[in-house]
Amino acid sequence: MTKNSAPDLQDQFANKSQAWSARFSEPVSDLVKRYTASVHFDKRMAHFDIEGSLAHAEMLASIGIISEGDRISIERGMARIREEIDADTFMWSLDLEDVHLNIEKRLVELIGDAGKRLHTGRSRNDQVATDIRLWVRNEIDISVDLLRELRRKLAELALKHAATILPGFTHLQVAQPVTFGHHLLAYAEMFGRDAERLADCRKRVNRLPLGAAALAGTSYPIDRERVARTLGFDGVCRNSLDAVSDRDFAIEFCAAAALIMTHVSRLSEELVLWMSPRVGFIDLADRFCTGSSIMPQKKNPDVPELARGKTGRVNGHLIALLTLMKGQPLAYNKDNQEDKEGLFDSADTIRDTLTIFVDLVGGIRVKSEAMRAAALQGFATATDLADYLVKKGVPFRDAHETVAHAVRMCDERGCDLADLTLEELKGVNELVEDDVFEVLTLEGSVASRKHVGGTAPERVREEAQRVLDETEGSGPQGV
Ligand code: ARG
């Protein structure tokens, strides 16, 4: 290694206590080194770090701060580093704290002085902010795609079961009959909003912090718009202090992820319930279930249970990030290094969960007969009888009371409203005629709710088709 009069970067990098400058006179302990390092988790941003560096180098060359020769060397060096990372031969070092310093050191090893010039006009503060934004943007695009696929699966199943009837519940008590397709499309709505939320979050993620340097900007005549264009950002962050310290976009992503998991968790809760032999509305494919080591009869819905459980950690990451930010003065503080693990875990969890659920929903086996049998219990058409009387001129509150009496009568006899004879129903209210049986059937009940947002099979078919049309094709924008 050649010795220059100025401190050599290779030497500086060789010992972290010397990595910053000659100002430091003693090394950090191993524990402090581990405590302050982030390379073991931020190395997964390596490809985005390289992409950001290349865009920065291209801009520096375009305004003559580095030579074209240096830019070409940087590109060459970075191409090699990419290969090493992909081949898993890159030597990550804890001594070098994070992904940024690891890559920079390797670049200097590979190309010498040109590598040392790369960091001109930037800081790790704006560099890391840029990397995270690129990383989150990519995760958003993946998640939006997965949400679209999941909505398609829900809509396909809904179309198949547009006329399958099951009891709708409030307070987990039988309320009114609904169609299974309608029930499934409720989740398609939730996941549709989730995709909208991510698309909206993407707008604020997609602004370039680079150029803010450490906190105050830089005295070099940099062209930030150029870098933004190269990296596909919609624009640049307008305040250097905010640019390096803002993590709102990560919080927004974590909030969107928490809602996604919350929706998955609600669906999971229903799947678990529906699969319980006591309910028996569905069966999940074996590949999402496990048995018991002791009870031979068991088939447990592990995947939805675990998804419900994993919602806790994703919700937790949101709170952790909010708490991380709340006490920080401007501008960058080391606290911010704590933003990544939770963020990464939220993204990984929704990605895995959504991927599995696309397959899981596609494999749901519906037991229509059990659903129908359940809907026939619990006087699900009582409201329909009340509405029938209202249409004959009875005030709704009176109709409500009258039907309550009829329900009580059935309850005592152990029969359904539809089992009463016309004479018996006339005894409840003399306005009742023969046509009452149309509304007392499950089919009549659901068919009558055919307004927008209603559960009628014809409406469900239309809505399912709308979701299918909306989610057709590919690409991250197909929300
Ligand atoms: N590893 C750091 C992080 O994740 C990178 C930025 C460090 N900047 C600094 N001045 N220490 O935030």
pLDDT of residue 476: 45
Q: Does 98 sit in the ligand 1 pocket, CB within 6 Å?
A: yes
pLDDT of residue 13: 57
Q: Does 71 sit in the ligand 1 pocket, CB within 6 Å?
A: no
- Give per-residue pLDDT as tens, 296-313: 888 899 999 999 999 999
Q: Does 124 sit in the ligand 1 pocket, CB within 6 Å?
A: yes
Q: Which of 122, 337, 340, 341 to mutate to test the pocket of ligand 1 (most atoms within 8 A of CB)?
A: 337
Are residues 84 and 142 both part of a single domain?
Answer: no
Q: Does 455 sit in the ligand 1 pocket, CB within 6 Å?
A: no
Q: Which residues are catalytic?
A: 171, 292
- Give per-residue pLDDT as tens, 15-35: 555 556 778 889 999 999 999
Are residues 389 and 245 both part of a single domain?
Answer: no
Instruction: Look at the block and give the residue holding tokens 């029930």.
Output: 183
Q: Does 127 sit in the ligand 1 pocket, CB within 6 Å?
A: no
User: Among residues 368, 393, 424, which one ends one of the domains?
Assistant: 368
Distance of CA 372 from the midpoint of ligand 1 (Å): 60
DSSP string covering 169-212: EETTEEEEEEEHHHHHHHHHHHHHHHHHHHHHHHHHHSEE-TT-
Are residues 335 and 360 both part of a single domain?
Answer: yes
The domain of 231 spans 125-148+187-368
Q: Which CATH number covers residue 422?
A: 1.10.40.30
Are residues 360 and 388 both part of a single domain?
Answer: no
Using alpha carbons, select from 21, 28, 34, 42 the residue that is nearest to residue 98: 42
Distance of CA 166 from the midpoint of ligand 1 (Å): 55
Are residues 352 and 385 both part of a single domain?
Answer: no
Using alpha carbons, select from 237, 247, 246 the residue that is nearest to residue 209: 237
Q: Does 125 sit in the ligand 1 pocket, CB within 6 Å?
A: yes
Distance of CA 197 from the midpoint of ligand 1 (Å): 29
Are residues 206 and 354 both part of a single domain?
Answer: yes
Index of the ligand 1 atom closest to the CA of residue 98: 1
Q: Nearest-5° angle of CA 47, CA 50, CA 53? A: 155
Are residues 249 and 310 both part of a single domain?
Answer: yes
pLDDT of residue 175: 95
Residues of the chain with pLDDT under 50: 1-10, 475-479
| Rounded alpha-carbon distances, angstroms, from residue 110 to 73, 79, 103, 243, 403 | 9, 11, 10, 31, 84
Distance CA 349, CA 367 (A): 30
Distance CA 282, CA 263 (A): 19
Distance of CA 337 from the midpoint of ligand 1 (Å): 6
Q: Does 96 sit in the ligand 1 pocket, CB within 6 Å?
A: no
Q: Nearest-5° angle of CA 265, CA 143, CA 205? A: 115
pLDDT of residue 298: 84
Bridge partners of residue 365, in order along the sequence:
283
Are residues 220 and 96 both part of a single domain?
Answer: no
- Beta carbons within 8 Å of 303's beta carbon, 6+ residues apart: 284, 288, 289, 356, 360
Distance of CA 129 from the midpoint of ligand 1 (Å): 9
282-283/235-236 β-pairing: unpaired
- Give per-residue pLDDT as tens, 166-199: 999 999 999 999 999 999 999 999 999 999 999 9
- Beta carbons within 8 Å of 383's beta carbon, 6+ residues apart: 176, 403
Distance CA 328, CA 306 (A): 35
Are residues 380 and 455 both part of a single domain?
Answer: yes
Please give the structure tokens belonging to residue 419. 């089992």
Q: Which CATH number covers residue 39?
A: 1.10.275.10
Distance CA 136, CA 198 (A): 10
Q: Provide the domain count of the chain.
A: 3
Are residues 321 and 394 both part of a single domain?
Answer: no
pLDDT of residue 296: 83
Q: Which helix H or strand E contains 466, and what residues bound it?
A: helix 457-470
Does 53 map to a domain? yes
- Beta carbons within 8 Å of 218's beta carbon, 6+ residues apart: 121, 122, 211
Are residues 106 and 135 both part of a single domain?
Answer: no
Are residues 245 and 340 both part of a single domain?
Answer: yes
pTM of the entire predicted model: 0.93
